[in-house]
Amino acid sequence: MMKRILFIMVCFLGKAYHCQDYTLQNKPLLHYYDLVNKAENYITKKSWDSAFVHYKLAFKKNKQPPAIDLYNSMLVALKLNKQKFASGKFRSLQCLHYQFEDDFAKNMHASTKQTKCRNVIDENYRSELDKLYVIDQKYRKLSKGNYAQYRNELTQTDSIVAVKLMQLISKKGFPNEYDIGLTSANKDFMQNFYFIIHHQLATNIYSPQIVNFSNLLVKALNDGKITPANAAYLIDLNNGTTNYELRLFSVQGIVKNNGTMTDSIRALNKVDYYISKAIYPENQNERIRKIIIEKNQNRKKIGLSNLENMLEKSLFRRKNKAFVFPDASVSISSFATDKDITDYIQNMGLIKIQ
C-alpha cells in the first residue's frame, strides 16, 4: 500500500526529471504576490503610505490572503493611524486563532468590532496533524540534539508520519490557516506539520527520505494554500537544492563560542553581524553574476522577490522584529578563537554592519 501511494503521489529522489515545473502558474496569485513583495519593499524603506496602498491593491486580488500579509498590513495601518483597517485585519487574524500578545490584544480589542467569523476551522483535521507532529518531535526532544543516538527511532517515526501526512493531505487537501487556523503555527506563521515535510529533506543523514512532497507543495502554492517563501524553502529541502537562496545575500552573524552550553547561551547576546562584499556589482565576477540572475529567475517564477530585496528585508527585520518576513535570512556561525573569526571574515570577504 505504501509503495502504491508513493508511486502515485510523489517523485522519488534520484530521478533525472521533475514531475512538474516548480513554478507558480496561477496568474492572479502571481499578481497578488508581486503587489505584496512591493509592499514589503516599501516597508523596508519605511514608506508606510506606499506599502499601505499596495496591500490594499493586493487584497482586492485575493479573498483569502495569507495571515502573514494580514499581520504586516495591520502593522503598517497602525503606523498610519488607520485604525479601522487595522481593526479589520486584527479581527480576521482573531478568526484564524492567531495568538496575540496580551497587551496588544487588549489595546486592539477596544477599537475592534467583534464581527462574526466567516471561516470555519476544521479542528479535527488540525488535531490529526498535531498528533503526527507530536510523534515527529518525540525522539528529537529526547535526543537533546544528539540525533545519532536515536537514528533508528527517527528513521521509523519519520517514515510513519511522512506517509500518514501524505495520506491525510491526499484525502483532505493541503491545509492553510483558513482550514486549520493558526493555533498550531509559530509566530512566523509556519504550521507545525511543515516540520514533518522539513524532516524529509534529501540530505538527512539520520533519517533517509521516504516521501518527496515537492509536487504537493507546488500544487498547494498554486491553490493559494502555502506562501512562496515556505514553499520554496521546503521544496529546496526535499530536493537537496538551493534554487531559491544564495548565502551571499544573507546577513551573517558571527560569535566566539568554546562549545559549552553556558557559552552558547552567552554568545547569543554577543553576535556581530556581517554582509558579503560580493553583494555589490563591482565585486562580482561573471560566475557570481550568472548565479544571481539564475536564482532571481527561479524566485520570480515561484512568486518571491529578488535576492537584493530579500537582503533588504533581512537587514530591516534585524532591528524591526515586529514585522515578519519568512525569507529574511540570517545565519549564525560559531568559532572557538579570535584568529578563526578573523580568518573567516577575510576569506569570505565580509563587511561588519551596525
Which of 126, 213, 124 has the alpha carbon at shortest distance from 162?
A: 213
Using a 10 angstrom Cβ sphere, with 0-12 exposed, 13-18 middle and 19 or more buried, the burial of residue 203 is exposed
291-300's contacts with Cβ under 8 Å and 24+ in sequence apart are 291/246, 292/246, 292/248, 295/243, 295/244, 295/245, 295/246, 298/243, 298/244, 299/232, 299/244
Judge whether 291 and 19 are in contact, CB under 8 Å. Answer: no
Helix axes 2-9, 151-172, angle to 10 degrees: 60
Q: Per CATH, which fold does 27-109 belong to?
A: 1.25.40
Give the integer Cα–Cα distance in Å for 191 and 136: 14
The reply to whether the predicted model has a pTM over 0.85 is yes
- Sequence-separated (6 or more) residues with CB below 8 Å from residue 101: none
Where are any strands of DSSP class E within 235-349? 251-256, 272-276, 330-335
Cα dihedral 330, 331, 334, 335 sign:
negative
Instruction: Give, for all 354 residues of the chain, the pLDDT tens digit.
Output: 333 333 333 333 333 334 457 999 999 999 999 999 999 999 999 999 999 999 999 999 999 999 999 999 999 999 999 999 999 999 999 999 999 998 898 888 767 778 889 889 999 999 999 999 999 999 999 988 888 898 999 999 999 999 999 999 999 999 999 999 999 999 999 999 999 999 999 998 888 899 999 999 999 999 999 999 999 999 999 999 999 999 899 999 888 876 554 455 455 567 889 999 999 999 999 999 999 999 999 999 999 999 999 999 999 998 898 999 988 878 888 888 889 999 999 999 999 998
User: Nine-digit cell at 188?
Assistant: 512566523
